[in-house]
Amino acid sequence: MSHENAEPGRGVLYTLPSLFSDTLRTREFSQFFREYDGASFSVRTLDGWSWSSSVVRVPQFIVIFSTRHALDDVIEDASETTLGRLFLEGGVELRGNILILLSVAQYTLRHSEGLSHGLIQTIARMSHEFSRKLIPIHRTSGKHSWHCAPCPLDLPVSFFEPWLGTFLGHSYCCLADDEEGSEAAQRKSFDRACEWLELEQGDRLLDVGCGWGSLLIHAAERYGAYPQGITSTQMQSVSTIERIRRRGLERQCSVEQRDLHLQPYRSREFNKIAHLGIFEQVGTADMPEYLLCLKRMLAPGGLVLLHRLTSSPEGAASMTLLPSDFLSDGISRELQLAERAGFDLVGLESIHAEYEQTLRMWIEHLLDPQLAQSTRVFSNGYRAWMLYLIEVATCLNSGEARVHRLLLRRK
């Protein structure tokens, strides 16, 4: 790879060597980030090269490549695939406050015009693409599968509990009070969901993608409902059954691993249906059929509460690395699909700020060496979830994605 430097209207002044030298790396980093005034960060290699955004401040965030050669490989192929593979294989380490990537990403976006050298293109991807769009969507098998799990969910509960909390709620938290613990904030968010659903004693509730059964237990104990849950994995199912058993709720709650398309419930079996959280999202291509399935299972006048992650009008064009059917082009299309399926819109609320705040909390928990020590045992899962949470948090922070709560009533 060679690089030529020329002034407008002139011939080539010099040709850079095919491999980046330490001097060239340092010069290009310093030149590109000369106006950066955010939190200090550093890029290093384990075999001796390093650069820092500040010569006087201790870096709060560090990107460490295993070797200069590993960094040069990324420069040669500055793609999200290369960076993602390198990170997941352990060729890149992230230390410190990983959320500083957000400010670096915003800087590179503002200064991306005129980028010509592969090295700076790499830095732009390291901060912007790397923090947003590296994790592929691992789909469950089957042509008609409706769950698009962004990261592996078939991990033991001991992986999730340190950063989600013992309540194991995987929806957003109502973090209005900074002194309030995550469990209390999660319970408050479930209370809000139950209030939207007008949940009453004796209601038959279906929780689609119920995770580890937190909403099931909450709805049964606090509201006297009779909830049933659908999990994605056998590990979730086993963990949820054990949690229900410990609370003595076996006659009130149930959970199973089920594909709604292949094994639908009986017609009009439920009064209320919830599909909360964004860990699993139905792809837009499957959304019409999914809504019709929910309608068949719902009693007339019954309510459905959904959390939907969508691309914003500003971000739709740039979100090219996620599968095309993962996010719809805004909430308006979701509402059109719901109306065509036979639902009336009862309530609509923007909750992307709450989700971003919750994702930041989970990221901080994952970074806490004491709180999340057990998660590091599952190195691939840890890295995949870390990148996914950063990706979604950054999309929400930049306005490229939105999360809404939809309450629908069957006509």
What integer is the mean pLDDT of 263-272? 91
Q: How confident is the model at residue 263 (pLDDT cuts 50, 70, 90)?
A: confident
Query: Are residues 89 and 184 both part of a single domain?
Result: no
What integer is the mean pLDDT of 284-308? 93
Domains: count for the chain? 2
Whether pLDDT at 392 is above 50: yes
Residue 140 counted as domain residue: no
pLDDT at 372: 59
pLDDT at 42: 92
Residue 138 counted as domain residue: no
Query: Are residues 282 and 353 both part of a single domain?
Result: yes
Query: Are residues 161 and 18 both part of a single domain?
Result: no
- Beta strand ranges found along 332-400 (DSSP E): 343-350
Residue 45 counted as domain residue: yes
The mean predicted confidence, pLDDT, of the chain is 79
Residue 139 counted as domain residue: no
Query: Are residues 369 and 236 both part of a single domain?
Result: yes
Residue 143 counted as domain residue: no
pLDDT at 97: 78
What pLDDT digit, counting tens, does each position of 45-71 carry?
999 899 999 989 999 989 898 988 887
Residue 113 counted as domain residue: yes
- Assess contact for 310 and 401: CB atoms under 8 A: yes
- Assess contact for 15 and 4: CB atoms under 8 A: yes
pLDDT at 314: 57
Q: How confident is the model at residue 20 (pLDDT cuts 50, 70, 90)?
A: low
Query: Are residues 209 and 267 both part of a single domain?
Result: yes
Q: Ramachandran region of residue 197, left (φ > 0), alpha (ψ -120 to 50) or beta?
A: alpha
- C-alpha span between 221 and 218 (Å, rounded): 5
What is the DSSP track for 29-85?
HHHHTTT--SS-EEEEETTS-EEES-SSSPPSEEEEES-HHHHHHHHHT-SHHHHHH
Whether pLDDT at 78 is above 70: no
pLDDT at 110: 66
In the sheet where 343-350 sits, what is the strand order? Answer: 254-257, 226-231, 204-208, 270-275, 298-311, 401-410, 343-350
Domain of 61: which CATH number? Answer: 3.30.1050
Query: Are residues 177 and 220 both part of a single domain?
Result: yes
What range does the domain containing 394 cover? 157-410
What integer is the mean pLDDT of 257-276? 90
Read off the tokens for 178. 């900074």
Query: Are residues 391 and 304 both part of a single domain?
Result: yes
Q: Which has the higher per-residue pLDDT, 344 or 385?
A: 344
What residues form DSSP beta bridges with 140? Answer: none
- Assess contact for 38 and 111: CB atoms under 8 A: no
Residue 65 counted as domain residue: yes
Domain of 307: which CATH number? Answer: 3.40.50.150
Residue 101: count of CB within 10 angstroms of its CB: 22
What pLDDT digit, counting tens, does each position of 315-338 carry?
544 443 344 455 677 899 899 999
Q: How confident is the model at residue 350 (pLDDT cuts 50, 70, 90)?
A: very high
What integer is the mean pLDDT of 95-107? 74
Query: Are residues 100 and 177 both part of a single domain?
Result: no
Query: Are residues 176 and 107 both part of a single domain?
Result: no
Query: Are residues 185 and 98 both part of a single domain?
Result: no
- Give the residue carrying structure tokens 């901060």: 127
Query: Are residues 167 and 252 both part of a single domain?
Result: yes
pLDDT at 121: 52
pLDDT at 371: 65
